[in-house]
Structure 1
Amino acid sequence: MTRFNKQNNIVDVIGIGIGPFNLGLAALSEEVNEINALFFERSEAFHWHPGMLIEGTTLQVPFLADLVSMADVKSKYSFLNYLQEQNRLYSFYFLEDFHIPRKEYSHYCRWVADQLDSCRFGMNVESVSLIEKAGEKRYEVHVRHVKDQTVEVFESKHLVLGIGTQPAIPASLQPALGEKVFHSADYLKRKKEGCFKGKSVTVIGSGQSAAEVFYDILSDDEAKDIHWFTRSKGFFPMEYSNLGLEYFSPDYIDFFYELPQAKKDALLKQQDLLYKGISSAMIRDIYHLLYERSACGNQLNTVLQAMTEVNLIEETAGGLSLSCTQWVKEESFTHETDIVVLATGYQSVLPPFINPISHHIQWDDQGRFQVEREYRLKTNTMGENDIFVQNAELHTHGVGAPDLGLGAYRNSVIINELARQTVYPLYQKHVFQTFGTHKNAHTFEEIKG
Structure 2
Amino acid sequence: MHGIPSLIGDGGRVQDLVGIGFGPSNLALAVALREAGAGLACRFLEKRETFVWHGNMLLDGSRMQISFLKDLVSLRDPTSRYSFLSYLHGQGRLQDFINLRTFYPSRREFNDYLAWVAADFDDLCDYGLEATAIEPARVGEAVPHVRVHARDRAGRERSWLARNVVIGAGATPRIPDAFDGLVRRGGGTGPLVVHSNDYLAVAEELARAGRVAVVGLGQSAAEIFLDLHGRGVAVDIIGRGPAMRPADSSPFANQVFDAGYTNYLYGLPPAERADLLRAFHNTNYAVVDPDLIDAVYGIFYQQKVEGTARHAMLTRHEVVAARSGSNGGDRGGPVLDLASLDGGGRHERRYGAVVLATGYRRRIHEELLQPMERWLAGGEVGRDYRLPTVPGCTVGLYLQGCCEATHGLSDTLLSILPIRAQEIAAALTADADRGRGQQIRKTTSAQ
2:220 is equivalent to residue 209 of structure 1: yes
2:28 is equivalent to residue 28 of structure 1: no
Q: Deviations over 1:265-312 (max 9, x none)?
A: 3443443311011011211222233334543x3413111132221111
Q: Deviations over 1:102-148 (max 9, x none)?
A: 1111111111111112222123323322224598812222344556x
- In structure 2, the CA distance between the partners of 1:152 and 1:299, relative to structure 1 (3 Å rule), is closer
Unaligned runs of 5+ in 1: 1-5, 365-369, 422-449
What letter corresponds to residue 226 of structure 2 in structure 1?
A: Y
2:66 is equivalent to residue 52 of structure 1: no
Counterpart in 2 of 1:228? Answer: 237
Q: CA RMSD in A?
A: 2.5
Output the CA distance in 1 between the equivalents of 2:72 and 2:11. 27
2:201 is equivalent to residue 189 of structure 1: yes
2:96 is equivalent to residue 91 of structure 1: yes
Counterpart in 1 of 2:72? Answer: 67
Amino-acid identity (%): 29
What letter corresponds to residue 274 of structure 2 in structure 1?
A: D
**Whose helix fraction is larger, Structure 1's or Structure 2's?**
2
Q: Deviations over 1:301-346 (max 9, x none)?
A: 1111322211111233564332122224333333232211110000
> Is the CA contact 1:9–1:153 (under 8 Å) kept in the aligned structure 2?
no
Q: Deviations over 1:27-72 (max 9, x none)?
A: 1211333341221112111121111111110111111121111111
1:90 positional shift: 1.7
Q: Any idea what SS the aligned residue of 1:323 has?
A: strand
> Is the CA contact 1:181–1:339 (under 8 Å) kept in the aligned structure 2?
yes
Greater shift after overlay, 110-119 or 126-135? 126-135
Q: Any idea what SS the aligned residue of 1:154 has?
A: strand
Unaligned runs of 5+ in 2: 1-9, 185-190, 432-447
Counterpart in 1 of 2:363? Answer: 349
- In structure 2, the CA distance between the partners of 1:114 and 1:321, relative to structure 1 (3 Å rule), is same
May I ask how many residue pairs the two structures share in their alignment? Answer: 407
Counterpart in 2 of 1:303? Answer: 312
Output the CA distance in 2 between the equivalents of 1:321 and 1:146. 33
Output the CA distance in 2 between the equivalents of 1:231 and 1:88. 43
What letter corresponds to residue 374 of structure 2 in structure 1?
A: H
Output the CA distance in 1 between the equivalents of 2:292 and 2:16. 44
Counterpart in 2 of 1:142? Answer: 149
Output the CA distance in 2 between the equivalents of 1:152 and 1:400. 33
What letter corresponds to residue 106 of structure 2 in structure 1?
A: P
Which of 161, 175, 182 is the matching residue for 1:155? Answer: 161
Q: Deviations over 1:153-205 (max 9, x none)?
A: 3222211110110000112221332332111111111113x332360111101
Output the CA distance in 2 between the equivalents of 1:71 and 1:310. 45
> Is the CA contact 2:46–2:130 (under 8 Å) kept in the aligned structure 1?
yes
1:360 positional shift: 1.6
TM-score relative to the length of structure 2: 0.84
- In structure 2, the CA distance between the partners of 1:320 and 1:356, relative to structure 1 (3 Å rule), is closer
Counterpart in 2 of 1:331? Answer: 345
2:22 is equivalent to residue 18 of structure 1: yes
TM-score relative to the length of structure 1: 0.84
Output the CA distance in 2 between the equivalents of 1:280 and 1:35. 46
Task: Give 1:305-320 correspondences, 5 Å limit.
Answer: 305-316=314-325, 317=327, 319-320=333-334
What letter corresponds to residue 154 of structure 1 in structure 2?
A: W
Counterpart in 1 of 2:13? Answer: 9
